[in-house]
């Protein structure tokens, strides 16, 4: 399996995206995931945000990433699609993200629903709305040959039966799931059972632990964790993560395990990386090293 991380880890330390590339190179992590910004943000423009804007040229950025030996595993376009703003804001954002991802050589775009039931819409009405949205999105994804993942992160997606309905919106191999061990746990689900039900559709995995205090305060009443304030292995979800890794191994998953946690400028995500690598070794799971991944651009 491959190891990556979400640049959300460096939100609080105001690191730039290039700073995240340097951290990845220093720690021999070959894959990265970040949020996409549709427009201009002052904090991003000043270099204090570890995400990427859609106005940035994908080919030039790809060359820079090749210089660090780092590739995208996924880009995050997770504007909630379940509310009334979904067709107006979410769909164009996801479509632009798909085309941008194709140019930079990123295989996956992440999507999700809102954290709570959408105001003014019944559950059936919201599902009908999202079905129409995903039909438009997948038409574009098929043209660009980009996987669109649905992440369990909100009111609908953390419910297994609802997730099953959403994954059936389109009969397409380009509609798949981003498993998240932390969001499923905090929503009151069993992450191992959730993964097992959808393991044939998983193309990307967020590895996230949950602190004992957060679990005691909000488990079953919250659908997602913005950034986990807990290093992998330090929380109450560690055993579930280990069991999920075993299920993925049995299923011959060779994709990316993307670490999601607060980085504290480096120390916390470094503890997470060490725990994940140690756990993979204990389970007999090999790590695909960055050096084994060829660059996206080679000289003519």
Residue 298 lies in a domain: no
DSSP H helical segments within the chain, as ranges? 17-26, 42-45, 58-68, 91-104, 123-144, 160-167, 181-186, 191-198, 212-218, 238-250, 267-283
Residue 255 lies in a domain: yes
Total of domains in the chain: 1
**Model pLDDT, residue 289:** 75
Q: C-alpha distances in angstroms, 199 versus 119, 179, 236, 241, 245?
A: 32, 9, 23, 14, 11
The C-alpha atoms of residue 199 and residue 207 are separated, in whole angstroms, by 15
DSSP-derived letter for residue 131 is H
Residue 297 lies in a domain: no
158-163 average pLDDT score: 98
DSSP SS3 for 160:
helix
pLDDT, tens only, 173-215:
999 999 999 999 999 999 999 999 999 999 999 999 999 999 9
**Binning pLDDT at 50, 70 and 90, where does residue 299 land?**
very low
pLDDT, tens only, 245-288:
999 999 999 999 999 999 999 999 999 999 999 999 999 999 99
Q: Output helix, strand, coil percentages for the chain, rounded to the nearest 5.
A: 45, 15, 40
Enclosing domain of residue 155: 2-292
Residue 300 lies in a domain: no
Residue 284 lies in a domain: yes
The C-alpha atoms of residue 191 and residue 198 are separated, in whole angstroms, by 11
Cβ(73)–Cβ(31) under 8 Å? Answer: yes
pLDDT, tens only, 64-98:
999 999 999 999 999 999 999 999 999 999 999 99
CA dihedral sign, ordered 17, 18, 21, 26: negative
Residue 89 lies in a domain: yes
**Model pLDDT, residue 298:** 44
Cβ(207)–Cβ(257) under 8 Å? Answer: yes
| Residue 242: pLDDT over 60 | yes
- CA trace torsion 105, 285, 28, 227 (10° rounding): 80
Q: Give phi and psi for 31, each to the nearest 5.
A: -135, 145
CATH of the domain at 134: 3.20.20.150
Strand partners, 206: 180, 258
Residue 55 lies in a domain: yes
DSSP-derived letter for residue 89 is I
**Binning pLDDT at 50, 70 and 90, where does residue 295 land?**
low
Residue 10 lies in a domain: yes
């Amino acid at each position: 399996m491959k190891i990556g991380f979400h640049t959300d880890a460096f939100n609080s330390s105001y690191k730039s995206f290039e700073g995240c590339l340097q951290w990845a190179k220093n720690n021999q992590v070959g894959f990265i995931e970040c949020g996409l910004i549709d427009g201009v943000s002052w904090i991003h423009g000043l270099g204090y945000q570890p995400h990427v804007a859609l106005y940035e040229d994908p080919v030039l950025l790809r060359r820079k990433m090749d210089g660090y030996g780092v590739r995208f595993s996924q880009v995050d376009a997770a504007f909630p699609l379940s509310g009334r703003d979904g067709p107006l804001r979410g769909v164009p954002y996801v479509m632009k993200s798909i085309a941008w991802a194709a140019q930079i050589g990123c295989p996956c775009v992440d999507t999700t629903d809102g954290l709570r039931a959408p105001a003014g819409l019944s559950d059936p009405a919201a599902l009908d709305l999202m079905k129409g949205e995903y039909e438009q999105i997948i038409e574009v994804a098929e043209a660009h040959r980009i996987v669109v993942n649905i992440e369990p992160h909100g009111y609908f997606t953390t419910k297994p039966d609802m997730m099953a309905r959403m994954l059936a919106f389109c009969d397409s191999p380009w509609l798949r799931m981003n498993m998240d061990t932390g969001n499923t746990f905090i929503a009151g689900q069993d992450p191992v059972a959730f993964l097992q039900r959808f393991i044939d559709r998983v193309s990307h995995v967020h590895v996230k632990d949950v602190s004992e205090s957060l679990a005691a305060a909000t488990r079953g009443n919250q659908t997602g964790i913005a950034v986990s304030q807990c290093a992998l292995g330090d929380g109450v979800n560690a055993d579930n993560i280990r069991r999920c890794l075993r299920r993925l191994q049995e299923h011959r998953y060779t994709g990316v395990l993307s670490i999601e946690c607060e980085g504290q400028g480096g120390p916390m995500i470094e503890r997470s990386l060490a725990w994940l690598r140690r756990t993979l070794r204990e389970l007999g799971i090999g790590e695909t090293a960055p050096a084994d991944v060829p660059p996206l651009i080679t000289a003519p």
